[in-house]
A and B are shown apart, each in its own frame.
Chain A
Amino acid sequence: MAIIRVENLNYQYPNSDTQAIDNVSFEIQAGDWVAIVGHNGSGKSTLAKLLIGLMAADSGKITIDGQELTPETVWQIREKVGMVFQNPDNQFVGATVADDVAFGMENRSVDRDTMVTKVDQALAQVGMLDYKNREPANLSGGQKQRVALAGIIAIAPKILILDEATSMLDPRGRQEILSVIQDLKQQLNLTVLSITHDIDEAANADRLVVIDDGRFVEEATPKELFSHGQQLVEMGLDVPLPEKLKDALQQRHVAIPQSYLDERGLADWLRTSRLNK
């Protein structure tokens, strides 16, 4: 079942002479992890804001969990969607870390005992329980982002939208968050929509949707897309190490396979080539 359906969506910013979103259509199935990729300015973040009704599309239709997004349904739809933005400083309200995580639940009239338990659980899941009573302002960027994610986890939405949400984390922090999201996705049949430049985050997705100049370009699995090599940079993604190394080896007249290999695949191939020398 499609939990998110976007049909012929259009949006143009006031004072701009080009379409930020140009006739975009796609579907996301419940329980899928879909990453929207595209370079800076391609329209990815605009799309995310339209999806949760932060801005209204000029035309087209957005259906979330069977409900069409309209000014009347926007609050019901937001109950089902948790969103973590790129910059954590723009999403803090609480005086302490725990207060901040509780904020979303307070808005949903969760009783106090449940709230206390859920705050601890959510903070433990993002590795921030030790910081429960600290002021959010004194946390580093990565820690703030983990707290923001805990606030979302605590509400247990159906859909999680990550708008460049891991871009501030160190590589290990990013891996931890991504694995937390993988676990939650399994447990809660969560649908994840991530907007990202990060190749690791994109590799976690079931499918990738490429957006450029506000237009839908293609939809592919990570493996299919990663075989595009240098073109990935135009799509706002980095080139995976095995593809970079294959290029560099080819320039040194090493006969390398054309198809996409992940690190393990390339290591296997290199070992064989070495033994055949």
Chain B
Amino acid sequence: MATDITFEQVNYWYQAGTPFAVQALKDINLAITPGSFTAVVGQTGSGKSTMIQHLNALLKPSSGTVKIGDRVITNETKNKHLKPLRKKVGMVFQFPENQLFEETVIKDIAFGPQNFGVSEADALVLAKRMAQEVGLDESLLNRSPFDLSGGQMRRVAIAGVLALEPEVLVLDEPTAGLDPRGRLEVMQLVTRLREEQGLTIILITHQMDDVANYADHVIVMGHGEVIKQGSPREIFSDPEWLEAHQLGLPAATQFAYKLQQDGFQFDSMPLTVEELADQLAPQLAKEGIDHE
């Protein structure tokens, strides 16, 4: 069954009932449809990480309702019987490589499914398939995960979550700290998982270029609230609003707004370098014309 996720009037307080109580989420209403690619953006401290921890009931709302497929999570929900939910919604946290612990790469990937009752033999078969899926070379499988590079360790961690065969994959800044090539590889992997396996993707990111290139829905958070939702084109069509909320634009869009002030015309604001070049080229002198 496809897993819809909806939040209805969700509030969450940290250190509730103490003098240090801080409201991290305020009246969150949102819906995530199966197979969609949702980007969650917002300043540092806007509640993004708190929000995603509600997606598999790691946190339960202080008030309001989170529906994940046919499960309803409220403040009253007991911690029992949440296991199937955790399997359905796979969570890749920031710096997931810190959670690796097994002796070998293959055992680390196989740990999750075994925890959910899959036999060791079956889990190892699954792990091998997932290692291949994320592009880990077979020669690495019997090495210690701690001997791998940062980018490889991150792929081991993602493979470990994929081995649970989730329907929804939540990634909290999965490319942080990776070099540009590593970032591109992770984003291509995420895109492929969505296209080939129909996974629902929820990505927390600061990279507006990734939002422009990959997402079809954007949730903007600020001070614990959802302050805007829409397609990337809608979100990036209002630079003043973004500036006021201390959010950036994709690099190509930002540059296009500058060029607009220089007299260049854009039918719709370009979100990527390719779109920008498409619209600029007809407005420029062609090769072979000397304009010195």
Contact = CB atoms under 8 A, between A and B. Distances in A.
A249 B277 contact: yes
Given A40-B179, A170-B206, A249-B280, A241 B287 contact: no
A257 B258 CA distance: 20
Contacts of B284: 249, 254, 270, 273-274, 277
A234 B206 CA distance: 23
A87 B286 contact: no
Given A40-B179, A141-B173, A170-B44, A267 B285 contact: no
B152 to A, nearest CB: 8
Contacts, number: 146
20 contacts: A39-B181, A41-B149, A87-B98, A143-B45, A168-B173, A170-B44, A171-B208, A172-B247, A172-B248, A197-B178, A236-B180, A239-B180, A245-B252, A248-B273, A253-B286, A255-B285, A263-B258, A274-B264, A276-B289, A277-B285
B240 to A, nearest CB: 15
A241 B251 contact: yes
Interface of B: 14-15, 20, 22, 43-45, 48-49, 94-95, 98, 147, 149-151, 173, 176-182, 206, 208, 246-248, 251-252, 255, 258-259, 262-264, 273-274, 276-278, 280-281, 283-289, 291
Contact of B150 (A40, A168, A255, A271): A40
A222 to B, nearest CB: 16
Contacts of B14: 138
B275 to A, nearest CB: 9
Contacts of B178: 40, 197
A170 B43 contact: yes
Given A87-B177, A133-B20, A140-B49, 19 more contacts: A15-B147, A41-B149, A141-B44, A170-B43, A170-B248, A236-B179, A237-B180, A245-B273, A248-B277, A249-B280, A251-B277, A253-B286, A253-B287, A254-B281, A254-B284, A254-B285, A255-B286, A270-B264, A274-B284
B20 A267 contact: no
A172 B278 CA distance: 29
B259 A270 contact: yes
A270 B173 CA distance: 35
Interface residues of A, number: 52
Nearest to A234: B181
Nearest to A276: B291
Nearest to B248: A171
A263 B255 contact: yes
Interface string A1-23: 00000000000000110000000
Contacts of A58: none
A68 interface: no
Given A15-B147, A271-B263, A197 B43 contact: no
Contacts of A270: 259, 262, 264, 280, 284
Contacts of B273: 241, 244-245, 248
Nearest to B97: A87
Contact of B177 (A86, A241, A244, A276): A86
Interface string A237-277: 11101001100110111110000000100010011111011
Given A164-B177, A274-B264, A248 B276 contact: yes
A138 B224 CA distance: 14
Given A39-B179, A172-B246, A270-B262, A255 B287 contact: yes
A199 to B, nearest CB: 9
Nearest to A44: B179
Contact of B15 (A138, A168, A271): A138
Contacts of A237: 179-180
Contacts of B248: 170-172
A199 B98 CA distance: 26
A167 interface: yes
